[in-house]
């Protein structure tokens, strides 16, 4: 079995993590030969997983909706596929490449990983939604994974809606051992993002630095996957710790009593799997904020007291008070599971139908 994965690498890692997870499953369990491609923040993540591509992706190679097929990078990927001749290609967040690859390689099975908002987005312009659904629907299998299920869509021949695909690194955590530690996870979603998104992310980080004064018995750890946050060490309390690289999730999940996070689909899904009390703060421009709010509201329902949703404009003292309340939250009885097994079975079914 041979697999190529092509994942949009900005503004965060939401389009990369799940695709890597699925490809690595087949590599480790079915001896698959795997090649993975991304760019910007996604490329950094792939390098951390030892997937190296010797190609400099430039700004003119991608648009706001991913790779431009008729570009240096787009043509490089097409040549890589022709040379490698994979059994199937997994794409995430790449509508133009989906359309292009199905045209050029009609006999190679295309699998699209999608967010629920990719298929059903009440806030998107109807013409944009129609175009995006038309491109994604050209895949042989479209797997929508997230915090809620989408309805059947007549544009798609094979649309499957499942729970979020979660990193095996998270699923391997069998139990947490929390100490007096609060972790603020702000990820890498600032690459190629609008300035308002960056500023709001920094604002959350600054508030988390300040809550340390209200919680002197707790360590406050702030995790960024990119180096955009700096504070004056002379002003930093001894119980504040800043992490600026992509860290193992065990660094913040294994021993934190509370997580503070933006409302990204992947992180929220991980928190639900691990049942860690969490404060979720949706942020972003007009489009991203609406998706983050939808994620957070759904997670709050699923979490059954495990998750609190706060406004980005909350004051430091209000955030500190909320932290104190959530720290003493009893373990939730929510039983939310990842969609990994279902996704793998869907891909295996597609693959087996071709080799008979």
pLDDT tens digits, one per residue of 59-106: 999 999 999 999 999 999 999 999 999 999 999 999 999 999 999 999
DSSP letters, 215-255, are: -TTSEEEEEESSS-----TTTS-TTEEEE-S---THHHHSS
Q: Per residue in 256-287, pLDDT tens?
A: 999 999 888 999 999 999 999 999 998 765 56
- 140 vs 341: CA distance, rounded Å: 19
CATH 3.30.420.40: does it fit domain 171-327?
Answer: no
Domains 2-165+338-355 and 171-327 alike in fold = yes
Q: What is the pLDDT of residues 20-59, one digit of tens each?
A: 999 999 999 999 999 999 999 899 889 989 998 889 999 9
Task: Report d(CA 95, CA 118) in Å as an integer.
Answer: 10
Given a contact cutoff of 8 angstroms between Cβ atoms, the answer to whether 138 and 100 are in contact is no
**Is the pLDDT reported for residue 194 higher than 90?**
no
Cβ atoms 34, 84 nearer than 8 A:
no
Mean pLDDT of the chain: 89
- Would you kindly state where each structural domain of the chain is located, as residue ranges? 2-165+338-355, 171-327
Is the pLDDT at 198 greater than 90? The verdict is no
Give the pLDDT score at 146: 96
Q: What confidence score (pLDDT) does residue 204 get?
A: 86
2-165+338-355 maps to which CATH number? Answer: 3.40.50.2000
């Amino acid at each position: 079995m041979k697999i190529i994965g092509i994942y949009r690498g900005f503004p965060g890692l939401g389009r990369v993590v799940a695709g890597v997870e699925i490809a690595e499953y087949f590599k480790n369990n079915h001896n698959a030969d795997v090649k993975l491609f991304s760019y910007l923040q996604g490329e950094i993540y792939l390098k951390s997983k030892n997937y190296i591509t010797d190609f400099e992706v430039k700004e003119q190679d991608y648009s706001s909706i991913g790779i431009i097929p008729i570009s240096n990078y787009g043509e490089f990927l097409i040549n890589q596929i022709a040379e490698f001749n994979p059994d199937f290609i997994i794409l995430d967040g790449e509508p133009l490449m989906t359309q292009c690859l199905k045209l050029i390689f009609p006999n190679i099975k295309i699998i699209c990983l999608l967010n629920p908002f990719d298929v059903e987005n009440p806030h998107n312009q109807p013409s944009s939604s129609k175009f995006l659904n038309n491109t994604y629907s050209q895949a042989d299998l479209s797997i929508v994974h997230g915090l809620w299920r989408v309805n059947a869509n007549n544009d798609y021949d094979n649309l499957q809606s499942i729970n979020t695909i979660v990193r095996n690194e998270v699923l391997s955590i069998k139990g947490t051992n929390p100490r007096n530690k609060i972790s603020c996870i702000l990820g890498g979603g600032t690459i190629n993002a609008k300035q308002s998104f960056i500023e709001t992310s920094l604002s959350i980080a600054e508030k988390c630095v300040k809550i340390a004064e209200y919680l002197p018995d707790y360590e406050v750890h702030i995790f960024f996957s990119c180096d955009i946050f700096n504070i004056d060490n002379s002003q930093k309390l001894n119980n504040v710790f800043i992490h600026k690289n992509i860290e193992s999730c065990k660094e913040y999940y294994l021993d934190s009593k509370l997580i503070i996070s933006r409302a990204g689909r992947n992180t929220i899904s991980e928190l639900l799997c691990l049942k860690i009390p969490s404060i979720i703060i949706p942020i972003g421009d007009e489009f991203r904020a609406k998706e983050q709010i939808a994620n957070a509201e759904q997670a709050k329902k699923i979490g059954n007291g495990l998750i609190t949703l706060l406004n980005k404009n909350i004051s430091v003292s209000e955030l500190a008070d909320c932290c104190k309340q959530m720290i003493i939250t009893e373990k939730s009885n929510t039983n939310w599971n990842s969609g990994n097994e279902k996704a793998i079975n869907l891909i295996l079914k597609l693959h087996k139908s071709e080799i008979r």
